[in-house]
């Protein structure tokens, strides 16, 4: 039985608006105002909180250190947890696609670099948590993506095996994780990079969740 593992941010849901808002809350607290754009900086948002903070500090054109990023990160997480689904929305037709897999008995899990508690809250509020038999966050294990053990453990908790699994994601982190695990990778094309993600040479591209079944079938035939 095929096991399907999903990333969360930028794959199941567009979380960039709430992530950017959390980073901007940090900069406002420091007296700098909003430094990041929810439109132009969407891709950076999907690379995590520290990436957003670094980008904002760069825009100040003032010297800064990684210690300043570390100092703001807890507040970013606090603000984000309290405002986790203000702007976030599922990508089109995600729920019906997951329901089709569930009807066929396909085990599904989430492997995300979002903190586990935040991922649990968000998936619950989005009405998706019960679709997934396993959900591992950035702090569930001592390691996280792109370390393949993060992905392997997600598969194990579903009772699956790597040779019959696939990872669906949106960034180079997901591609590197799948490659290190020797597992096929499907990258979505409805994120900020569009079909430019093809440069990462995934085994499949997903243009719309209505196409999920066909894409998974094609990937598993060729893997």
- Please provide the DSSP assignment of 184-219 as one string: -EEEESSSTTGGGGGGG--SEEES-GGGHHHHHHHH
Q: In this predicted model, what pLDDT tens digit does every residue of 29-77 receive, in sequence order?
A: 999 999 999 999 999 999 999 999 999 999 998 999 999 999 999 999 9
* Assigned CATH topology for domain 3-14+88-222: Rossmann fold (3.40.50)
Taking the C-alpha atoms of residue 119 and residue 135, their distance in angstroms, rounded to an integer, is 8
The pLDDT of residue 34: 98
Taking the C-alpha atoms of residue 61 and residue 45, their distance in angstroms, rounded to an integer, is 20
The structure's pTM equals 0.94
φ, ψ (nearest 5 deg) of residue 108? -130, 140
The pLDDT of residue 142: 98
Taking the C-alpha atoms of residue 39 and residue 34, their distance in angstroms, rounded to an integer, is 13
Residue 221 pLDDT class (50, 70, 90 cuts): confident
Q: In this predicted model, what pLDDT tens digit does every residue of 99-116 receive, in sequence order?
A: 999 999 999 999 999 999
The pLDDT of residue 1: 65
Catalytic residues: 7
DSSP state for residue 166 in the 8-state scheme: E
The pLDDT of residue 61: 87
φ, ψ (nearest 5 deg) of residue 137? -100, -175
Q: Are 183 and 176 in contact (CB under 8 A)?
A: no
Residue 98 pLDDT class (50, 70, 90 cuts): very high
Residue 223 pLDDT class (50, 70, 90 cuts): low
């Amino acid at each position: 039985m095929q096991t399907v593992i999903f990333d969360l941010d930028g794959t199941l849901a567009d979380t960039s608006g709430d992530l950017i808002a959390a980073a901007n809350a940090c900069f406002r607290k420091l007296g700098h105002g909003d430094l990041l754009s929810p439109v132009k900086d969407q891709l950076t948002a999907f690379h995590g909180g520290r990436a957003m903070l670094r980008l904002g500090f760069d825009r100040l054109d003032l010297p800064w250190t990684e210690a300043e990023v570390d100092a703001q990160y807890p507040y970013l997480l606090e603000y984000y947890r309290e405002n986790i689904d203000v702007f976030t929305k599922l990508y089109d037709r995600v729920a019906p696609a997951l329901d089709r897999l569930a009807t066929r008995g396909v085990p599904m899990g989430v492997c995300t670099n979002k903190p586990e508690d935040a991922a649990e809250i968000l998936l619950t509020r989005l009405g998706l948590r019960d679709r997934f038999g396993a959900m591992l966050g950035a702090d569930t294990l001592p390691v996280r993506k792109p370390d393949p053990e993060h992905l392997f453990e997600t598969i194990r908790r579903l009772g699956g095996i790597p040779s019959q699994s696939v990872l669906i994601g949106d960034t180079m982190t997901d591609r590197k994780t799948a490659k290190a695990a020797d597992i096929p990778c499907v990258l979505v094309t409805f994120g900020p990079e569009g079909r430019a993600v093809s440069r990462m040479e995934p085994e499949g591209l997903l243009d719309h969740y209505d196409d999920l079944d066909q894409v998974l079938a094609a990937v598993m035939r060729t893997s």
